[in-house]
Amino acid sequence: MSAENNKASVTLRDALRRAGAVAFWLLVWQLASMAVGSELLLAGPAAVLVRLAQLVPTAAFWSTAGFSLARIAAGFAAAFMLGLLLGLAAHRWHALAELLAPAVSFLKSVPIVCVIVLLLMWVGSVRVSAIAVFLAVFPAIYFSVLEGRSVADPGLGELLRVMGVPGWRRFLADTWQQLLPYLVATCRNACGMAWKAGVAAELIGSPRGSMGERIYQAKLLLETGDLFAWTIVVVALSWVCEKAFLALLRATADWALAASVPRAAAAQRRQPVPAPAGILLDDVTLGYDGAPVATCNLVLAAGSRTVLADPSGAGKTTLVRTVCGLLAPLSGRVQVPGAGALSVQFQDARLVEAMTAEQNVLLCSAGALSEDKAHALLEELLPKDALGRPVSELSGGQRRRVELARALAHSGAAVVLDEPFASLDADSHQAAAAFVLRHLGGRTLLVASHAPGDVELLRATPARLGDARGEG
């Protein structure tokens, strides 16, 4: 059996199971109605379906459903946008998070009925459902964003910032992709919360032309069939809105990735050749949180090539992070090219997993690199069948080469590589080193590597932490 047929068979079985579950509960409902023996107390599913068939074709039905849908959707949209924006801002500014915490926690815990009663006194019945939905949904979105940002991996964002990728592109390619699973999970429940809060507000306030008013009237007039029919409509609309919004939310992932990749203008198709820039670390103490790791006197002339050949654990990665501005030195003076003027490859993998290799390269190109140029660059390192696939599907060695191509394609005045040839076999190692020399273009090169042959492969000057001087 083919994969497509197997998938279709599984889908059919799932659909049949769901249909069976619905049929089971309809049967239970019918039996319960027969046991009660009174349509006034418990209308059966057949009677309710008949009433729905009478209601749905009428203009009054659609007017009523539209009235409630518009207000609930407006409240949900406002809650989603403000929760997203304030959640992002609170994660960035701790003082804002502390300021908002009591108010948002209060909204999260306060009974929605109490809120609705107060809102009826303050704003009237027409607007109460939208505001009630907002107050019910906003805390869920806000805390979801905070949680998503607090556990997010900062690695890719650091690399994009060092390489001068604009903030909005970093948001689309990195932040939004990491937030999306949390927002999808939250909105599964938030959509149902919105309809519960909105219809509850309409039931209490009974604004003219709302579904809440129709349900309340059915209760007063003991029209049990109508009561059940409108309740089913609420459930159906809630389900449809949930599926539609989640589909839209998931679709933003691909849109955001495509929008984050800059396009080269016709006049920018030639890659600019940057002027080399030197790197200076004058009597610098490297470390984390006040704990020293290594000392360094590093003087790299513009256009020099230097390989730090210290063994693993000596502090090479700490030096790379300091050079990139991600760590402040404990003491001493650091002089490096400014923001966006460094091309960097870190030791750990930092790729946009859902992007192709070409898109990852273009993301950091600032629009100076054409798609054809990026494709040709990657063809030097990767097999053709790997170019159009998401990097999440590539091997460790292939991913490493994508990162190397991205670093060399970026128009930094200095290139900093941390263990660039890790995970590569001997032949790939030599080919990657030759690739670096071909595309370095006279720029300053600093490589952290414990592989003894890299000094020769890169025609570089060996150096060690403590006292290192790169020759021109």
Quick one: average pLDDT of 283-301? 88
pLDDT of residue 48: 84
Cα pseudo-dihedral 295, 301, 302, 306, rounded to 10: -60
pLDDT in tens, 382-404: 998 898 899 999 999 999 999 99
pLDDT of residue 89: 97
For residue 258, how many other CB atoms are within 10 A of its CB?
A: 11
Question: Which residues have a Cβ under 8 Å from the Cβ of 80 and sit 6 or more positions away?
Answer: 137, 141, 187, 190
Measured CA to CA, the distance from residue 192 to residue 237 in angstroms comes to 10
Of 26-40, 59-73, 202-216, 220-234, the poorest mean pLDDT is in 26-40
Quick one: average pLDDT of 192-217? 92
3-class secondary-structure state, position 330:
coil
pLDDT of residue 472: 38
Half-sphere exposure of 193 (CA within 13 A, CB side): 23
Reported confidence tier of residue 4, pLDDT bands at 50, 70, 90: low
Reported confidence tier of residue 470, pLDDT bands at 50, 70, 90: very low
Reported confidence tier of residue 3, pLDDT bands at 50, 70, 90: low
Quick one: average pLDDT of 74-91? 97
Say if residue 92's pLDDT is above 70.
yes
Of 71-85, 119-133, 268-282, 290-304, the poorest mean pLDDT is in 268-282
Quick one: average pLDDT of 285-301? 87
CA angle 195, 198, 204 (to 5 degrees): 135
**Domain-wise residue ranges, the chain:** 1-34, 38-260, 279-470
pLDDT of residue 2: 60
Measured CA to CA, the distance from residue 188 to residue 257 in angstroms comes to 23
Say if residue 266's pLDDT is above 50.
no
Report whether 403 contacts 347 (CB < 8 A): no
Closest CA to 139 of 118, 168, 121, 115: 115
pLDDT of residue 466: 66
pLDDT of residue 272: 53
Say if residue 62's pLDDT is above 80.
yes
pLDDT of residue 337: 84
Name, of 48-62, 66-80, 416-430, the range with top average pLDDT: 66-80
Closest CA to 403 of 450, 448, 344, 469: 344
Closest CA to 378 of 435, 450, 299: 435
Query: Is pLDDT larger for residue 4 or for residue 340?
Result: 340
Q: What is the pTM (predicted TM-score) of this model?
A: 0.86
**Strand-pair partners of 30:** none
Quick one: average pLDDT of 70-92? 97
pLDDT of residue 33: 78
Q: Which two tokens stand for residue 116?
A: 């609705």
Mean pLDDT of the chain: 89
Half-sphere exposure of 105 (CA within 13 A, CB side): 6
Measured CA to CA, the distance from residue 97 to residue 305 in angstroms comes to 46
Reported confidence tier of residue 35, pLDDT bands at 50, 70, 90: confident
User: Alpha helix (H) ranges present in 221-326?
Assistant: 224-260, 316-323
Quick one: average pLDDT of 266-293? 74
pLDDT of residue 153: 92
Quick one: average pLDDT of 246-259? 96
Question: Which residues have a Cβ under 8 Å from the Cβ of 470 and sit 6 or more positions away?
Answer: 279, 298, 299, 300, 301, 304, 305, 306, 444, 446, 461, 463
pLDDT of residue 265: 58
Q: What is the DSSP letter of 152?
A: S
User: Alpha helix (H) ranges present in 110-175?
Assistant: 112-123, 128-150, 155-162, 167-170
Say if residue 290's pLDDT is above 90.
no
pLDDT of residue 214: 92
Provide φ and ψ at 333, rounded to 5°. -120, 135
CA distances to 63, 67, 73, 154, 201 from 205, in Å: 18, 14, 18, 47, 6
Chain-centroid distance, C-alpha 37: 54
pLDDT of residue 455: 92
Percent share of the chain, pLDDT over 70: 94
Reported confidence tier of residue 5, pLDDT bands at 50, 70, 90: low
pLDDT of residue 340: 77
Does domain 38-260 sit in CATH 1.10.3720.10?
A: yes
Count Cβ atoms within 10 A of the Cβ of residue 74 and give its class: 0-12 exposed, 13-18 middle, 19 or more buried.
middle
Measured CA to CA, the distance from residue 159 to residue 450 in angstroms comes to 22
- The matching CATH number, chosen from 3.40.50.300, 3.40.640.10, 3.30.56.10, 3.40.1360.10, for 279-470 is 3.40.50.300
pLDDT of residue 167: 93
Q: Which two tokens stand for residue 113?
A: 């009925």
pLDDT of residue 273: 58
Direct distance between the N- and C-terminal alpha carbons of the chain, in angstroms, rounded to an integer: 64
Of 105-109, 189-193, 288-292, the poorest mean pLDDT is in 288-292
Reported confidence tier of residue 20, pLDDT bands at 50, 70, 90: confident
Chain-centroid distance, C-alpha 297: 40
Report whether 253 contacts 354 (CB < 8 A): yes
The distance between the two most distant Cα atoms of the chain, rounded to a whole number of Å, is 97
Measured CA to CA, the distance from residue 312 to residue 274 in angstroms comes to 32
